[in-house]
Structure 1
Amino acid sequence: MLFILHSLGCTLSGFYSKVQFALLVMVGLMWFTAYSQSSDKEIFQSTITNPDTRLLQLKNKYNQAFDKQDFVLAAQLLQQMGQLCYHYGHYPQALEFHLQANNLFKNQHQTELLAYNLNDLGLLYYYNRNLKLAKLQYDEALHIFQNKHNDLGLAHTFGKIGHLYEKQEKYDSALYFQRKAINYYKKIDNQTGIAKIYENLGSIFEDLAQYDSAHYYFSQSLKINQVTHDQLAQIEVLNNLGDVLRKTGAIKQGLTYSKEALKLAQKLHEKYQEASAYRDIARALNMLGRNDSAYYYLEVSRKMTLDIYSEKSNQQIAVLQVMYDIAKKNNEIERLDNISRTNQILGISGVIVIALLIILGFVVINRQKMKIKNQHYINEQKQKVFEKEQDLMAAALKNKQLEEENLKNLLETKTKELSTHTLHVIQKNQLLEKLYQRLEEIVKDDRKNSQRNLRQIMQDINQSFDHDQYWEDFRNIFDQVHQSFLTKLKNHSEQLTANDLRLIALLKMNLNSNDIASILGISPDSLRVIRYRLRKKLNLPQGENLSTFIQSL
């Protein structure tokens, strides 16, 4: 309906001063606030005559419900008082009533009633220009209705969310949520809801200047309202149709709709709608060049708006006076109740304090006795635990000593095995060397047949120097005796061969060069060459002794 105010301002600029225009805009905004949501019109219509009386009735019923501890009914009455205050523009008190209702609904686990109240809160936050909080209320209500599978609640909430997006000029989102709303209304065949959503869709398309679509949806809304005999809703739709037709150039046809809205408003004694219809007629006549008639209708609208404003102000003053009286009375009752409760509390507290002192003395004495008894018991338990710990420590120490002794014996055994094995290899190689020398002498004999056989024997003996099964046993025993030796060795070089490792193991055992050469089946000169190559692989600096280095690992 904001476009009504804009058009009104354009028309008034030719007839009235800026002061008069500001007054009418303020009154128009008050009218828009009261009638922006058709779902709330019934409450407004039923309370417009005696709002102060109605507020007193609701307050009395609330007190009765609270005395009976019917908190669900009390919350519903708070919600109605909030709706009443909202319609008369007293938003802070309306917000307070709705928040109190929210707390009661939550405490009583009335989630669906809470959701409807959240929608009312969302509307309040919207008119206080707190769009973020309004959206949060709608989202929470939507979540509740989805969990409860409440199609009517979902339709109602989707419509409010769409209306919120429309006022933010987010028309794609507005259309999306309005269409979701109409789908739910159609699902439950709620004709009144369908008519309202058609009207909302028409308003969106009118804002988008898509007047054909706007005219279609307004017409559909009017048809449904005529079938359901919702005359109050018809007035607003007729006004919207008149606006759309004027914007598309069909001024006379639009004027017909405005006059029809005027007749219906007069019939229902709807002063807000009647004043709006007069303004629309004045606009149409101005566009047709009939300025005298336009001035007449605009003057009637102005006087009626001023009367409405005056009447509304008086009603608001009456409502505020009633609220003040109620608050004053409640404060007095609360003060007397507090005094009475304070006296009762003081008397009861005196008795309780005396009783507590007696109980406290008894408890202190018993506690002291129990403390002494418990301390004696704890000391006994500590002594037992200490003795058991001593026994366990002695047993653990004995086990440790046995374990160390076993390891020592095992190490000695392995060392003996390694020494025996090494000695065996030395003896075997010495024997093989003697045999090799004897066979070498036989080979020098000129007999060819024996010469060929003996050469074969020499070749087999020579191969046995490098492929002896005892080397594997030797390495296993060596690894057991020197467990971390090979790991440390690999940190210095990763290029060591199996022959290198054999030489290093023999050096680790402190064998002399002749014994090492005999075990490896090589000459002392070859051993020197191998030692030189090993030094290079281990990156030993010149002058550092190879055997000393290996012994340090």
Structure 2
Amino acid sequence: MLRTTVLMMISVFCAWGNLYAQNTTAMMEMDQRVFHTSLQASDALFIRQNEIYKQAKANDDVLAQARALQRMGQICYQMGLFTQSLSYHIKADEIFRSDKNERQTADNLNDLALILLITKQQKEAKQAYFKALSTYQMFADSNGIARTYANIGHYYEKVLNYDSAYHYQQKAMQVFEAVGNDEGVALVNENLGSIYEDKLQFDKAFSHFSKALAWFEKGGNNEMLIDAYNNLGDIYRKRGQYVQALQFTRKAEKLAKRSKAYSRLSSAYRDLGKTYSFLKQTDSTFHYLELSREYFLSSYSDESKKQEAILKVIYGLDRKEVQITEMARQEKVAWAIYIVSGIAGLVFILIAGVIIRNQRHRILRERETREREEEISKTKQELMLVDLNNKKLQEEQLKENLHAKAKEITAHTLQTIQKNQLLEDIREALTEMIKSDSRSYKKELRSLLNQINQNFNKDAYWDDFRRIFEEINQEFFDRLQQINPGLSATDIKFISLIKLNMNAPDIAALLSVSTDSLRVARYRLRKKLKLEQGASLTAFIQSI
């Protein structure tokens, strides 16, 4: 029981260690694909590049300054100092751009994009990759184009967009094959194998890994060859072919041990432990997982020392202070490794990561929603303002029209009153002449009087008056019809004149009736409008 418990805890520890080891291995692989550096002491390389940078600055050689900064960024990247690496690449980018050296800018952008991707700045990384691609295409640089295609494919693989990842790796493959770059073809095959492995399409992954291995076996790059052996061992294990898996993982183990590639050796031991676990060989499983743990700790310690050496150069730390800090840091790291090796710690880290990611997504969604709502609100306000202005213009136009109509109807009314008054005077004069005159043209005067009486109210002005009055008082006439649809034309004329606030004598003159006849007409109209006794006819009509 104790043995089983210990084995489970070591498996959990190795799984955690595997995560770090895989990340370290992946960084080394990408470094070799991008930079192709020699295996020299990183601190010595950094010091040399720093001296080159200072000399270039003294000579005012901006291009040499930028190249030295780029190389210093590459060295920091190799050592896992991503913040420092990002800083150097950004400085190099600024100088390359100010010098208008587009080809060097594109080369540095590929390095910069990789750091941005590792530091979770995915949007900026994508922009940098495509800017580099555009520049290489402008210069028709086939190797630069192919390398950037492969890097873009790697980017899409990391963001889990496998279709796009496959598309760009295929484009990289086509260009590498066209220019005869066998190493590039091998690297793309390894990338494609990784994509298919993530998608659990192990047969296709095996095919691409095998093609990559064929070139690495004759290419002389031990690190890539170790990884190729390990990749095929993983595929065999995942397909349940444990004997073949052991064969390839053993090859990776031997080459890693001979090359003193301890991080890769730790990975090989871990894979051997996994395979023996599937074969139910508990002792071998325990043995190799323990070896994996030991080499992982050793490799981690070595990497930490190298990072400290670089940081000492960068920040000019005193050697004694670095040693003291390193001892304290190593002690803290050792305690941290054993503490977080438990299942509870691992679960806590995973849950925390999920919570943080979800929180970021929620904040981003809320910000986007708020921005959209603000934009919609702004648009609505602008539309309301335009609509309000239109209504104001319409209202002003309507007022002008009503004012013109009112002036027109007033003119017609005054003209009609004057005409009817004139006709009334003529009629009275003719009447007196007929009564007092006994001459022979009495008959002709009577005939003229009859014509005046017959045409007294048939002037075209009444038609114009009715048309204009109805245009500006349409709602008034609609409500009047609702009260009594049977009102006559004379009633409508009478009501219209009352609506205009005209006095009784003027109304009688316009209607060509006497004052007594007008009173009778008012009485009849009150009955038609169903007014109660004592109610004002004028007030009622004005209220309609």
Q: Same fold (TM over 0.5)?
A: yes
Match of 1:243 in 2: 234
Match of 1:77 in 2: 68
C-alpha displacement of 1:54: 0.4
Residues in 2 aligned to 1:490 and 1:116: alpha-carbon distance in whole angstroms: 80
Per-residue CA deviations over 1:468-509 (Å, capped at 9, x if unaligned) read 235468x49x98xxxxx9898667655488755644676669
Cα 1:25/1:421, change in 2 over 3 Å? closer
Match of 1:422 in 2: 420
Confirm or deny that 1:138 pairs with 2:129: no
Match of 2:37 in 1: 46
Q: What aligned pairs does 1:308-319 form with structure 2 within 5 A after superposition?
A: 308-319=299-310
1:182 aligns with one of 140, 144, 169: 169
Q: What aligned pairs does 1:357-506 form with structure 2 within 5 A after superposition?
A: 420-427=418-425, 464-469=455-460, 471=462, 475=465, 494=478, 495=480, 499=490, 502-503=493-494
Aligned 8 A contact 1:182 1:194 in 2: no
Cα 1:183/1:431, change in 2 over 3 Å? farther
Cα 1:433/1:55, change in 2 over 3 Å? farther
Match of 1:385 in 2: none
Match of 2:23 in 1: 32
Output the amino acid matched with 1:257: F
Cα 1:36/1:459, change in 2 over 3 Å? farther
Aligned 8 A contact 2:150 2:169 in 1: no
Residues in 2 aligned to 1:139 and 1:63: alpha-carbon distance in whole angstroms: 32
Residues in 2 aligned to 1:156 and 1:539: alpha-carbon distance in whole angstroms: 95
1:66 aligns with one of 57, 68, 84: 57
Output the amino acid matched with 1:469: A
Output the amino acid matched with 1:164: K
Which consecutive residues of structure 1, in runs of 5 or more, have no partner in the other structure? 1-11, 167-172, 329-409, 438-456, 480-484
Match of 1:155 in 2: 149
Residues in 1 aligned to 2:532 and 2:474: alpha-carbon distance in whole angstroms: 18
Per-residue CA deviations over 1:203-230 (Å, capped at 9, x if unaligned) read 3443454433432332343345568676
Residues in 1 aligned to 2:10 and 2:537: alpha-carbon distance in whole angstroms: 111
Aligned 8 A contact 1:215 1:241 in 2: yes
C-alpha displacement of 1:20: 11
Q: What aligned pairs does 1:472-551 form with structure 2 within 5 A after superposition?
A: 475=465, 494=478, 495=480, 499=490, 502-503=493-494, 513=505, 516-517=507-508, 519-520=510-511, 527-528=518-519, 530-532=521-523, 543=534
Per-residue CA deviations over 1:7-34 (Å, capped at 9, x if unaligned) read xxxxx97988968985996587256325
Residues in 1 aligned to 2:243 and 2:109: alpha-carbon distance in whole angstroms: 44
Q: What aligned pairs does 1:84-99 form with structure 2 within 5 A after superposition?
A: 84-99=75-90
1:277 aligns with one of 243, 268, 277: 268
Match of 1:206 in 2: 197
Cα 1:156/1:326, change in 2 over 3 Å? farther
Per-residue CA deviations over 1:140-192 (Å, capped at 9, x if unaligned) read 224524654744465144223223224xxxxxx2x122112213213423554
Match of 1:165 in 2: 159
Q: Which moved more, 1:51-60 or 1:86-95?
A: 86-95
Per-residue CA deviations over 1:285-342 (Å, capped at 9, x if unaligned) read 56557777777766766665555445434433332322233899xxxxxxxxxxxxxx
Residues in 1 aligned to 2:244 and 2:411: alpha-carbon distance in whole angstroms: 121
C-alpha RMSD of matched pairs (Å): 5.3
Residues in 1 aligned to 2:92 and 2:530: alpha-carbon distance in whole angstroms: 87
Aligned 8 A contact 1:24 1:302 in 2: no
SS of residue paired to 1:249? coil
C-alpha displacement of 1:84: 1.2
Output the amino acid matched with 1:144: K
Confirm or deny that 1:221 pairs with 2:212: yes
Per-residue CA deviations over 1:247-283 (Å, capped at 9, x if unaligned) read 3221222222223334554676644434433544455
SS of residue paired to 1:188? helix
Residues in 2 aligned to 1:310 and 1:510: alpha-carbon distance in whole angstroms: 110
Aligned 8 A contact 2:166 2:195 in 1: no
Residues in 2 aligned to 1:61 and 1:539: alpha-carbon distance in whole angstroms: 111
Residues in 2 aligned to 1:545 and 1:294: alpha-carbon distance in whole angstroms: 113
Q: What aligned pairs does 1:232-381 form with structure 2 within 5 A after superposition?
A: 232-262=223-253, 264-265=255-256, 270-281=261-272, 283-284=274-275, 305=296, 308-325=299-316
Aligned 8 A contact 1:493 1:537 in 2: no
Cα 1:35/1:491, change in 2 over 3 Å? closer
- Higher RCO (Cα < 8 Å, 6 or more apart): 2
Aligned 8 A contact 1:202 1:216 in 2: yes
Aligned 8 A contact 2:312 2:318 in 1: no
Aligned 8 A contact 1:211 1:248 in 2: yes
Cα 1:178/1:459, change in 2 over 3 Å? farther
Length-normalised TM-score, structure 1? 0.58
Q: Aligned residues: percent identity?
A: 30
Cα 1:539/1:159, change in 2 over 3 Å? farther
Residues in 2 aligned to 1:271 and 1:153: alpha-carbon distance in whole angstroms: 28
State how many pairs are aligned: 420
Cα 1:523/1:96, change in 2 over 3 Å? same
Output the amino acid matched with 2:158: L
Residues in 1 aligned to 2:314 and 2:261: alpha-carbon distance in whole angstroms: 27
Cα 1:425/1:194, change in 2 over 3 Å? farther
Aligned 8 A contact 1:44 1:87 in 2: no
Output the amino acid matched with 1:423: Q
Cα 1:198/1:162, change in 2 over 3 Å? farther
